[in-house]
Amino acid sequence: MRAVDVIQAKRQGREIEGEDLKALIAAYTTGEVPDYQMSAFLMAVVWRGMSEAELAAWTDAMLRSGIVLDFSDIPGTKVDKHSTGGVGDKVSLILAPLAVEAGLRVPMISGRGLGHTGGTVDKLKSIPGFQMELPTTRFRELVEEFGCGLIAQTNEIAPADRKLYALRDVTATVECIPLIASSIMSKKMAEGIDALVLDVKVGNGAFMRDVEQARLLSQTMIGIGARLGKPTRALLTNMSQPLGFAVGNSLEVIESIETLRGQGPEDLTELTLHLVLEMLRAAGPVADEAAAMNMLRSYLEDGSALRCFRKIIEAQGGDPRVCDDPEAVLPRAAHTVELRATASGVITHMNTEEIGHAAVELGAGRRTKEEEVDPAVGFYVHKKPGDTVVAGEPLATIHYNDERRRDACMARYAAAVTIGEAADHTHIPLILDRVM
Amino acid sequence: MRAVDVIQAKRQGREIEGEDLKALIAAYTTGEVPDYQMSAFLMAVVWRGMSEAELAAWTDAMLRSGIVLDFSDIPGTKVDKHSTGGVGDKVSLILAPLAVEAGLRVPMISGRGLGHTGGTVDKLKSIPGFQMELPTTRFRELVEEFGCGLIAQTNEIAPADRKLYALRDVTATVECIPLIASSIMSKKMAEGIDALVLDVKVGNGAFMRDVEQARLLSQTMIGIGARLGKPTRALLTNMSQPLGFAVGNSLEVIESIETLRGQGPEDLTELTLHLVLEMLRAAGPVADEAAAMNMLRSYLEDGSALRCFRKIIEAQGGDPRVCDDPEAVLPRAAHTVELRATASGVITHMNTEEIGHAAVELGAGRRTKEEEVDPAVGFYVHKKPGDTVVAGEPLATIHYNDERRRDACMARYAAAVTIGEAADHTHIPLILDRVM
């Protein structure tokens, strides 16, 4: 079938054979099908959507465009967690060692920060020496020996997705549930996992603004996982405020280590525990959930999860002393300043996307793909929605290296916070829904 | 505004500013906006459509991508006719001299055959010596001196349309009323005309299969014409059978000359007269339509229209003797054969697109863009829908130069004709509607 016929079929809303979708992806990966045909096809998908069968074939073709890892000979259940991205989301750093302690194996391939959201790669790279660009042979060894490997996305995995993503970015075809779902799942299904847990963020700091869209995205990804034989589950979680208090790479590593010591922020701790519980459920039936949660909590309190994290850091070349005295080991900003409230009342609303952009202004994220992040900068959030505040009290502590960037950050942060009457604040639960 | 934002706006169904559409076309023409962004935009237009204001700005930008002819200093009303394409449609050859005799000026820029439909350029080029690739300065002289110039499309006129058309062809975005309408109108509005008449073909030999779609296309083009200050009118005409009897370039010139002598097929004569009447109406009020039609008929019968055609042919380098003895002057095929009916009854249906393809099989049209047409080949249609036929009677006379191509033509022609009961035939009027 010619590419133009496949585009025509999608344009008309007709079902496309899996073989034709696979041929389209294969020819696009080699460059035989040009960008201008693929972008027309993608816009037709935005318009017409994709059936479950189409989506499974499309995702399968994308994941087979590169190497597909196979860890089936490594004993134990391999489970990963993927977050759709938020502000202050350092869950992976706590979750990976905790899941290993709970008996799972966690082959985790992470991305860099994207837009206003942070990325696990940027956070872990603030640990001196920590290597994430590892060959897949080394990744396998890590999973086998330590139960966990934490590596960065590579061109070898799902190259079709990388090429498609770059095209979608310039053709207004990013926001599209089947295309988002297949992009995420093609990378995850190539990781050699047995099951997957999704943390689908919902709210004003997330790509999904409303719970219905997030539920649809979750169901779509779960459907793909089911068809490709990898059980997938999702939690829909609140991203209308930063997760935890720390935003910025070094600061988030510090907060992650505090959490691994059992002294982390409540929202971050609870979400991580629930996501690990979901990973256990994805691996097999959990008879007594309360007992499982208590066991997971004990791994934080008795230091075993932190010891596991220390081993992983050491195995990947990082300085293990970060687990003992993170503030001494991690790069720190030269200056701090308090951003103070100009009015009294209750925080009724935080524009969390803007809070994320405020961190990018400081240098914690990238304004262009080429920019380097500054691992040291960021801020601690002191007041979140529902908190009472008195004029002059600190809303946040800004860690900065450059005054111009500090000013841009503070202006953007201040504008993102609304102080009003207690009656105007609506509490949003941490976990909005569970989808499987 | 960035191209991606314009695509996003169209994707979301938002109204786009005229200035942004103009910038998009301008940047696409220079190559600054790549094909892959334009094809995504085009698919979004297929999905969301275009408002009247958007379409006028889009068409205006396309027509301004090249030179725009201005004949306003030439006295008289400049009116052209455009057909959406059919089988046996040689109307332009008769209409242009007739309209000149009726006092109009006709600057006509024509295309080559496309798919199963013929093109005025291919027909006129079968006249030995006839030049259609003329500079616009010469085109102006012809319009000024003879009232009419008949030239071929050039890269100078609406180059954005040429580039867009090639892109649409490979991205399944050809069938789309706003894109079809803007493509036609951008070329016509650059011709230096004051008004335009459209012959929108409807039926199984036309690009528009049903009258509702044809009406919508007509209204869309009329809307563009109105916004750009060029009054436009349309006739919706039957293309569920060939027009006239001759199909093929030399054969169609012969039939055109017979019609200019007042001895042409009735359908061809009547349609041409009605289209010229419509051109007169577009130029100004026609007080007595019956008198106008009688006048037009007299130009056929008294030979004045043919004399006018002779002058135009001579002015463009063609052999004027074609008007006296076309069969002697025009290239003729080496052989003829009758295609005979294998059953008796009434012709209930002709698949006119297939009849057109049968002519392409002979060499009267092109299977690929690069192919040369054979001006000599074609056929005369002897039986049309509603006609009674006896087994063994000729359905058509095939003029051919190559036996393999003859066989392919005859097989395709025979399969396109259905012979049945008189009761199964539905008469379709020549003119289905008039839109303005």
Global confidence as pTM = 0.87
Which chain A residue has its CA at the smallest distance from B36's CA? A36
Note the pLDDT tens digit of each residue in B185-242: 999 999 999 999 999 999 999 999 999 999 999 999 999 999 999 999 999 999 999 9
Contact B171 A35 (CB under 8 A): no
Q: Do A34 and B35 touch (CB under 8 A)?
A: yes
Distance of alpha carbon A267 from alpha carbon A10, whole angstroms:
43
Task: Calculate the CA B269 to chain-centre distance.
Answer: 16
* Structure confidence at residue A118 (pLDDT): 85
pLDDT at B155 (0 to 100) = 87
DSSP state of A78: B
Residue by residue, DSSP assigns B194-247 as: SEEEEEEEESTTSSB-SHHHHHHHHHHHHHHHHHTT--EEEEEEE-SS-SSSEE
Kindly report the number of other CB atoms within 10 A of residue B31's CB atom: 9
Q: Residue A74, Cα to own-chain centre: how many angstroms?
A: 26
Is there a catalytic annotation at residue B168? yes
A62 CA to chain B: closest CA distance, Å? 20
* The two three-digit tokens of residue B317, written as one number: 């380098």
pLDDT confidence of residue A155: 87
Residues of A in contact with B40 (CB under 8 A): 39-40, 42-43, 171-173
Reported as a pLDDT band with limits 50, 70 and 90, residue A398 is very high
- What is the rounded distance in angstroms from the CA atom of residue B373 to the CA atom of residue B113? 9
Question: A44 and B42 in contact by Cβ < 8 A?
Answer: no
Contact criterion met (CB < 8 Å) for A42 and B42: no
Record the tokens describing residue B403, joined without a space: 């036996």
Chain A residues touching chain B at CB-CB below 8 Å:
3-5, 7-8, 11, 34-40, 42-44, 46-47, 167, 169-173
> Closest to A37 (Cβ–Cβ): which among B4, B5, B171?
B171
**Which among B24, B39, B42, B176 is the top mutation candidate for probing chain A, defined by the most A β-carbons within 10 Å of its own β-carbon?**
B39
What's the pLDDT at B352?
97
Q: Which among A3, A39, A44 has CB closest to B36? A: A39
> What tokens does B44 get?
């979004």
Instruction: Give the CA distances from residue B240 to residues B88, B198, B211, B395, in Å, rounded to whole numbers and listed in that order.
Output: 11, 18, 12, 16
Yes or no, beta carbons of B172 and A36 under 8 Å apart: no
Q: Coil, strand, or helix at residue B272?
A: helix
Q: How far is B14 from chain A (nearest CA, A)?
A: 13
Q: Helix B35-48 to helix A35-48 angle, to the nearest 10 degrees?
A: 30
Q: Provide, as residue numbers in chain A, all residues whose Cβ is less than 8 Å from the Cβ of B46.
A: 11
Chain B contact residues (CB < 8 Å to A): 3-5, 7-8, 11, 34-40, 42-44, 46-47, 167, 169-173
Distance from CA of B171 to the nearest CA of A (A): 5
Q: Which residue has the tokens 């990973």?
A: A279
Q: Note whether B257 and B220 are within 8 A (CB).
A: no
pLDDT digits (tens, 9 = 90+) for A287-309: 999 999 999 999 999 999 999 99
Residue spans of alpha helices (H) in A261-288: 266-283
Rounded to whole angstroms, the Cα distance separating B282 from B279 reads 5
> What is the predicted pLDDT for the residue at A424?
92
Token pair 């920590």 is found at A130
CA dist., res. B38 & res. B182, Å (int):
15
Contacts of B4 in chain A (CB under 8 A): 169-172
Please check the confidence at residue A132 and state whether its pLDDT lies above 80: yes
Which residue in chain A has the smallest CA separation from B46? A11
At a CB cut-off of 8 Å and minimum separation 6, what does B392 contact?
A: B340, B341
A3, A11, A171: residue with CB nearest B40:
A171
pLDDT at A434 over 90: yes
Predicted confidence (pLDDT) per residue in A241-269, tens digit: 999 999 999 999 999 999 999 999 999 99
- A44–B40 C-beta distance less than 8 A: no
pLDDT over 90 at A368, yes or no: no
**Angstroms from A57 CA to nearest CA on chain B:** 22
Contact A89, A256 (CB under 8 A): no
Give the angle subtended at the CA of B369 by the CAs of B363 and B370, to the nearest 5°.
Answer: 80
- Could you say which of B80, B161, B199, B267 is catalytic? B161
| Residue B224 token pair | 């563009």
pLDDT at A229: 94
**Does B43 sit within 8 Å of A44, measured CB to CB?**
yes
Is A349 in contact with A340 (CB distance < 8 Å)? no
Q: Determine the residue among B11, B43, B163, B168 to mutate to test chain A binding: the one whose Cβ has the most chain A Cβ atoms within 10 Å.
A: B43
**Substitution target from A32, A36, A168, A173 for chain B, most B beta carbons within 10 A:** A36
Residue contact B46–A171, C-beta within 8 A: no
Torsion of CA B162, B166, B169, B173, to 10 degrees: -60
Question: Catalytic: which of B10, B81, B162, B187?
Answer: B187
Q: Which residue of A has its CA nearest to B172?
A: A8
Residue A432, pLDDT > 90, answer yes
The CA distance from A161 to B392, in Å, is 63
Report pLDDT digits (tens) over A74-129.
Answer: 999 999 999 999 999 999 999 999 999 999 999 999 988 878 888 999 999 999 99
Annotate B137-162 with DSSP letters as a single string.
Answer: HHHHHHHHHHSEEEEE--TTS-HHHH
The tokens describing B183, both together, are: 């493509």
Tally of CA atoms within 13 A in the half-sphere of A101 that contains its CB: 28
Per residue in A310-319, pLDDT tens?
999 999 999 9
Res B112: pLDDT? 84
> Which tokens in the block code for residue A436?
């499987």
pLDDT tens, A222-232? 999 999 999 99
Mean of all residue pLDDT scores within chain A: 96
Tokens of A356: 């994320």
Cα–Cα dist A145/A135, whole Å: 16
Strand ranges in A217-334 using DSSP code E only, listed in sequence order = 232-238, 246-247
- Identify the residue whose tokens are 């379409």: B55
Question: What's the gap in Å between the CA of B13 and the closest CA on chain A?
Answer: 11
Closest partner residue to B172 (CB to CB) among A40, A47, A170 is: A40
For an interface test with B, which of A6, A10, A39 has the most B Cβ atoms less than 10 Å from its Cβ? Answer: A39
A178 CA: distance to closest CA in chain B (Å): 16
Q: Which of B4, B167, B172 sits opposite A171 (nearest CB)?
A: B4
Question: Which residues from A are below 8 Å from B47, CB to CB?
Answer: 43-44, 47
- Is-catalytic flag, B187? yes
pLDDT of amino acid A228? 94
Q: What is the number of CB-based contacts under 8 A between chain A and chain B?
A: 78
Spatial strand order in the sheet of B195-202? B79-83, B195-202, B232-238, B431-435
Q: How far apart are CA B363 and CA B377, in angstroms?
A: 7
Q: What is the complex's ipTM, to 2 decimals?
A: 0.85
* Pairwise CB contact (< 8 Å): A36 & B173: no
Q: Characterise B95 by phi-psi region: left (phi > 0), alpha (psi -120 to 50), beta (else).
A: alpha
- The catalytic residues of A are 82, 161, 168, 183, 187
* Closest chain A residue to the Cα of B37, Cα to Cα: A171
* Helix H or strand E encompassing B108: strand B106-110
The C-alpha R_g of chain A, in whole angstroms, comes to 22
> Smallest CA–CA separation between B4 and chain A, in Å?
5
Q: Two tokens at B352?
A: 């006119």
Mean pLDDT split into 10-residue runs, chain B, 436 residues:
92 97 96 96 98 96 95 96 96 98 96 86 97 95 97 92 92 94 95 96 95 96 96 97 98 98 98 98 94 98 97 97 97 98 97 96 89 95 98 98 97 97 94 96
Yes or no, beta carbons of B37 and A39 under 8 Å apart: yes
The closest CB to that of B171, out of A7, A167, A170, belongs to A7
How far apart are the CA of A324 and the nearest CA of chain B, in angstroms?
A: 48
Q: How far is A141 from chain B (nearest CA, A)?
A: 42
